[in-house]
Structure 1
Amino acid sequence: MFKHDTWVKPDLKRYKNLLFWSLALGVLTYFCAGALMFTSGYLIDFAATMPLFAAIYVPVVLTRAFGIGRPVFQYLERLTSHNWVLKITSHMRRKLYQVLETDAAFVQEHHQTGDILSLLSDDIGHIQNMYLRAIFPTVVAGGLTLLITLGLGIFDWRFALWVLLLLLVQIVLIPWWGLLIETKRKLRQKELNQKAYVDLTDAVLGLSDWAITHRQEQFVDQATTTTAQLAASTHRSKMFEWARDFVANLFFGAVPASLMVWASWYFAGTQLTADWIGSFVLVMFPLSMAFSNVAQGIGEWPTYKTALSHLNQLKPTTRALPEQLAAPATVGALTVQDLAFQYDAESEVLIDHLNLMLKAGQKLAILGPSGMGKTTLLQLILGDLTPTRGTVTLDGVNVLQYQDQRTKLFAVLDQSPFLFNTSILNNVRLGNEAASDEDVQRVLREVQLDELIAGLPKGMDTPVEEAGFGFSGGERQRLSLARILLQDAPIVLLDEPTVGLDPITEQALLDTMFRVLAGKTVLWVTHHLQGVSQCDQVIFLEDGKLTMAGSPADLMANNERYRRLYALDAGQA
């Protein structure tokens, strides 16, 4: 699993010093805890037989030293280990966000929303638990096993080997038994957990459809069935863990029992028999936690393995971009020359030998059936995709050279613009974070939302529900349009922004868009012909090729197919 890992191994190397000190402090914590019990047990027994301060001075000092050392080392260990883990997981989250951001144009194609939520909230957390619950306890327990074996070996190497065997049962045999029993169950739980994310997310996103069709019971069943299966499987795991821990405690209890028998035999006939028996037996009890955590942490290994596998399967799209340039002061012609695109040699050609030119301030309507390359064309113009052949240029400069400055050149309004769970003011100001309140008021007035917002209890400070559910479809689009106006990019791409709106709302929104975007270059992807008369050019894309192109007036006068489609769209045929 770790052979081709790009998520864990690099961070282990990057923060290796913190890792070393975390493990060393963990071993020292338990060493001091065991030594405290050893010296205090010896001190109590010895003081009972020889209550002279001079005779017990050394054990008193050692007891104080180990008593202070245990909480100090424990605090430093927690501080260091959590600092190490937080550094690693924060770096992982940043890396995950960068991967998703790099592939933002393809996320919906490659992943369901629930899968993304599972990655973000679940898998990184499992990796964090892998360090805290599996790696740390196992290494610390292994270090303690070595110290205990060497310490007992000074007195009796054969008995030291016996204790080593009992401790290896704790850190090897019982965890292996747990893995053998629980591996398939843990993998199934991971699958159910991920499926629960997907089912619940899909159900919530389609909540309005469930309500409209009066299928509330089916909604509840879909949202809870997988969760119930997960709860049942988790309960079975808990019952097995109880049995496993009971067996582990029995084996661990054999260690102090063996120490009692051995110490009674080894120190028999000496005045210090009772002192040493108590010391050797007591030393093991504070160490029980170090060994009991190992089986629990290792038992989750299938979950950690699956999470790590998911992360390593994320391969960001890497592109070799040309040297980046500063954004031009003015933008003139947008030219598409001999443009072609396909994802790979085996996939179909989505854009084929496309040529068009749009002067500054002109409006272009892009029509055609679904799946014919309209959205792909917008992604090529934005620079999200690199053409297989041909170029997209602004005044002769390839748009790929402006990717670092893209927000200064392009604004996008699609059919489902996202509104965040914050105020109207903050949502609109995303277009330009330096904009004043007066600027926000101005653009809201331009998109004709000023009266609506003035009537709200808190005005522009009114919270917007997540995804804008508190507003109608037309109002959400107008808020997003206000954001675009505040961004003030010279080129605006409209990807079917009126889908799902009723005809009256659609026409009102189109009138507003073309009014407020006057003077800007606009590329508008649409499925039908309502409003195209306000454009300078109209093109039809079919199978990635131009089948019709011209001004709306020319096409209406000279193209029979255009007239037939126009009449059909208007309901006249």
Structure 2
Amino acid sequence: MLETLRRFRSFLAPYRGRLAVGAFCTLGSSALTLLQPWPLKVIVDNVLRGKPIHVPFVSVTGWSRAELLDGAIVAFVALVLLGALFDYAGTYLMDSSGVRMVADVREALFAHLQRHSLRFHATQRTGDLISRVMSDIGRIQDMLIQSFSVLIPNVALLVGMMTVMFLIDWSFTLIALAVGPPLFLLIFVYKRRIKGASRRARQLEGRLAAHTGEVLGAVRVVQAFTREDFEEERFSRQSSSTLGANLEATRLQARFSPLVDIIAGLGTAIVLFVGTHRVLSGQLSLGLLLVFLSYLGSLYKPMRQLSKLTYVSAKGVASAERVSEILDAEPDVQDLPGAVAAPRLRGHVRLENVEYAYAPGRPVLHEIELDVEPGQVVAVVGPSGAGKSTFVSLLPRFFDPQRGRVLLDGRDVRTIRLRSLRSQIAIVPQEPLLFDGSIFDNIAYGRAEAREQDVLEAARLALVDDFVRALPDGYDTMLGERGASLSGGERQRISIARAIVRDAPVLVLDEPTSNLDPVSERLLVDALARLLEGRTAFVIAHRMSTVARADQVLVFDGGRIVERGKHDELMQIPGGVYRSFLDLQLGGAAATPISSRRRWRAGR
């Protein structure tokens, strides 16, 4: 647990003042708790048995027994009230600091996940990451709150009680503490076992969360193939494994607590036996025996609480390890030292001998050389797995090449701050990704500072306005998760409007018309024509409607550009990859003159 606090010490730093005051109040509460049995001693030894009394700093000479009783009762009530006040202040300040600190960790974890590269996210399961952000952070919070509200006050109480007991009778104190070594040996053994079981449970819960997210995200496919029973059975198997790991941790904790109580009970029995003999022999007053028994009960109570803290801390430590895995991992794409913000770019793109590999020794892009003038449209075609998406992902630095350079307006993209670079590139993905919110908010997502008129103009240019006018709530219509209430063409037009409002000089379009019907495609092509005006664009495409009038066509195969040129030029290459690709797609219609086909780029 101390290692966990060390790992997250930077998050604790802003709350040092609150923690210091809280610790002071906690120590004050412990000190007042130490004083609470002493009024009882006064009542037993001095009020009931009439022994002389000496109270430090207070003159009680000449007090009657009734006055001593009243004074002891008042002192006891005052100690209880002050102890409760200090306990409240200490608990609130320390626990609230823990809650705030954990909220900061959750925000930092979410921010860190957003800044990891696509390569990192490709190796992770989304459900497991969500489990780390939510469940694991919650367990860390439980551990910290327990640490502040249980560990610190009880350790302070233990130290204080043992000190006072040693000052009263050191030999009797050693007898009372004889159960300490076996108790802490028991804690050490069980803590390791509970921590191991908790770690296994957290890993299995992460996998279960990932599987749940995967199935619910593909529920249409599950229902279409009537695989509900299969998925239920698979979920049940994984859930059973998770249940088994959690039950193992629970079983260990259930066995651990009674063992602690048995050891503490034996210690109390020994003290009662020895203490009673000492009172009978006159070595110890009855009042001091009651103080000892009070301390002993209070002594074993924090021992038991500290031992039970083992279960919570074991789960918290296991979760902290999973969170630290993310926070300690450095993003492989980030601002380099000396990177600067770039001015508005013109859109001149150049790639020099670029090579990229997801895994060492297995490049997916080879020797890519390219020069694109501002305002040109480049169509990128080729079979699946040829490297098209990886190629366009180099422009916004979703990946960095292992060799070669990517330049925008003559600047290596690695010398430009990521935020500045990506603000000048707009992307329209193949599958439009919309967020739970209004249509207006989804369009405005493209540029944080966009004004209302900018959003509405982008919607008009992308032909979003055509269907929004028919909706009862217009642009305030809530879309739901992923915009499921809209058709594919409507979602894609919103995606294009989002790219328009970004007003970026460079565009990346990934198969924007691949999944649309002819009517939706025709409307989308009109919207794309407006989007492309005056911008450098890279369009990954398979359809003739997309590539027909591009300034350059890049043909990828096996991670290389095997052909390049305009459509008509590439069609003249006998047996060429591009021509063969279109012949397969169009069933021999590729030889038809391009002038007879629909132009997707107006005026060209």
When the two structures are superposed, what TM-score results if normalisation uses the length of structure 2?
A: 0.83
Q: Which residue identity does 1:448 align to in structure 2? A: L
Look up the match of 1:247.
Answer: 259
User: Which deviations, in whole Å up to 9, do the C-alpha atoms of 1:360-414 show, x marking residues without a partner?
Assistant: 2221111223333222222221133333333322322223333331243111122
Give the superposition deviation at 1:299. 2.6
For structure 1, which segment, 314-323 or 68-77, has the greater mean C-alpha deviation from structure 2 after superposition? 314-323
Once the two structures are superposed, residues 468-504 of structure 1 have per-residue CA deviations (whole angstroms, 9 ceiling, x without a partner) of 2222332222222111111111111112334544455
Give the equivalent residue in structure 1 for 2:201. Answer: 189
d(CA) in 2 for partners of 1:502 and 1:296? 63
Tell me if 1:323 matches 2:335: no
Q: Which moved more, 1:251-260 or 1:184-193?
A: 251-260
Among candidates 503, 511, 517, match of residue 496 of structure 1:
511
Which residue does 1:547 correspond to in 2? 562
Which of the residues 381, 385, 405 maps onto 1:371? 385
> Structure 1: which 5+ runs fail to align?
none
What whole-Å deviation, never above 9, does each CA across 1:145-182 have from its counterpart, x for those lacking one? 32222211122222212322334555x23423433554
2:535 to 520, 544, 547: 520
Separation in structure 1 between the aligned mates of residue 469 and residue 300 of structure 2, nearest angstrom: 66
Structure 1 stretch 207-216 or stretch 52-61: which is displaced more?
Answer: 52-61
CA distance in structure 2 between the partners assigned to 1:237 and 1:310 by the alignment = 18
- CA distance in 2 between counterparts of 1:86 and 1:135 reads 11
From 409, 415, 419, the counterpart of 1:395:
409
Alignment of 1:120-519 (within 5 A): 120-133=133-146, 137-170=150-183, 172-179=184-191, 181-235=193-247, 237-268=249-280, 273-285=285-297, 290-314=302-326, 315-318=329-332, 319=334, 321=336, 323-329=338-344, 331-342=346-357, 346-403=360-417, 404-502=419-517, 504-519=519-534
Query: Which of the numbers 579, 595, 598 marks the counterpart of 1:563?
Result: 579
3-state SS of paired residue (1:519): coil
- Note the C-alpha offset of 1:183: 4.5
**Residue in structure 1 matched with residue 39 of structure 2 by the alignment:** 39
Q: Is the 8 A contact 1:42 1:279 kept in 2?
A: no
Query: Which AA in structure 1 matches 2:372?
Result: L
2:61 matched to which residue of 1?
Answer: none
Structure 2 SS opposite 1:364: strand
Q: Displacement of 1:4 after TM fit?
A: 11
Q: Does the aligned pair in 1 maintain the 2:198–2:318 contact within 8 Å?
A: no
- Alignment partner of 1:59 is 2:72: yes
Secondary structure in 1 matching 2:362? coil
Secondary structure at 1:163's aligned position in 2? helix
Corresponding residue of 1:72: 85
Structure 1 residues 228 and 341: CA distance shift in structure 2, 3 A = closer
1:261, distance to aligned residue in structure 2 (A): 4.1
Q: How far 1:39 sits from its partner (Å)?
A: 3.0
Q: What residue number does 1:99 align with?
A: 112
Distance across 2 between alignment mates of 1:181 and 1:326: 52
> How many Å separate the matches in 1 of 2:187 and 2:66?
47
CA distance in 2, matches of 1:77, 1:183: 29
Partner letter of residue 418 of structure 1?
Answer: L
Residues 343 and 223 of structure 1, relative CA distance in 2, 3 Å threshold: closer
Q: Relative to structure 1, is the Cα distance of residues 37 and 224 closer, same or farther in structure 2, using a 3 angstrom cutoff?
A: farther
SS in 2 for 1:534: coil
TM-score, length of structure 1 as denominator length: 0.88
Q: Deviation at 1:533?
A: 0.8
Deviations 1:14-50 (A, max 9, x none): 7666555555544443443353355357548865667
CA distance in 2 between partners of 1:28 and 1:256 (Å) = 27
Q: Matched residue pairs, number?
A: 571
* Contact 1:149/1:161 (8 A) holds in 2: no
- Distance in 2 (CA, whole Å) between partners of 1:99 and 1:133 is 27
**Residue 421 of structure 1: how far off its partner (Å):** 1.7
Give the whole-Å Cα distance in 1 for the aligned partners of 2:270 and 2:570: 97
5 Å-filtered alignment, 1:12-31, equals 22-23=22-23, 25-31=25-31
Describe the SS at the equivalent of 1:538: strand
Task: Report the counterpart of residue 551 of structure 2 in structure 1.
Answer: 536
In 1, the alpha carbon distance for the partners of 2:556 and 2:502 equals: 29
2:58 aligned residue: none
Residues 322 and 291 of structure 1: CA distance in aligned 2, closer, same or farther (over 3 Å): closer
Aligned-residue offset at 1:115: 1.9
CA-CA distance at 1:436 after TM superposition: 3.5
Instruction: Measure the CA separation in 2 of the matches of 1:230 and 1:385.
Output: 36
Q: Secondary structure at the match of 1:350?
A: strand
Cα deviation, residue 212, structure 1: 0.8
Pick the aligned partner of 1:81 from 87, 94, 97: 94
Change in 2 beyond 3 A, CA 1:355/1:19: same
Taking the aligned partners of 2:254 and 2:468, their CA distance within structure 1 comes to 58
CA RMSD, 1 decimal: 3.4
3-state SS of the aligned residue for 2:366?
Answer: strand
SS of the aligned residue for 2:572 comes to: helix
In structure 2, C-alpha distance between the alignment counterparts of 1:381 and 1:551, rounded to whole Å:
22
1:51-78 deviation per Cα after TM superposition (whole angstroms, max 9, x unaligned):
7453246534532442122222222222
Contact persistence 2:34–2:157 (CA under 8 A):
no
User: Which structure: larger Rg?
Assistant: 2
Is the 1:45–1:278 contact (alpha carbons within 8 Å) kept by the matching residues of 2?
Answer: no
Flag the 1:92–1:76 CA change in 2: closer, same or farther, 3 A.
same
Deviations 1:233-260 (A, max 9, x none): 5345445433432332233344554454
Structure 2 CA distance for partners of 1:357 and 1:500, relative to 1, 3 Å: same
- Render the CA deviation track for 1:280-328: whole Å, top value 9, x for unaligned: 3334555665333322321345533433333343311255626344443
Identity rate, percent: 22
* Residues 415, 139 of structure 1: alpha-carbon distance in 2 compared, 3 angstrom cutoff: same
Q: 1:122 to 1:222 in 2, by over 3 A?
A: same
Using the alignment, how far apart are the partners of 1:6 and 1:178 within structure 2?
Answer: 23
Q: 1:13 to 1:168 in 2, by over 3 A?
A: farther
C-alpha separation in 2, matches of 1:430 and 1:460: 14
SS of structure 2 residue aligned to 1:80: helix
Compared CA separation, residues 461 and 254, structure 1 to 2 (3 A): farther
Cα distance change, pair 528–153 in 1 and its aligned pair in 2 (3 A): same
Q: Call closer, same or farther: CA 1:123–1:238 in 2, change over 3 Å.
A: closer
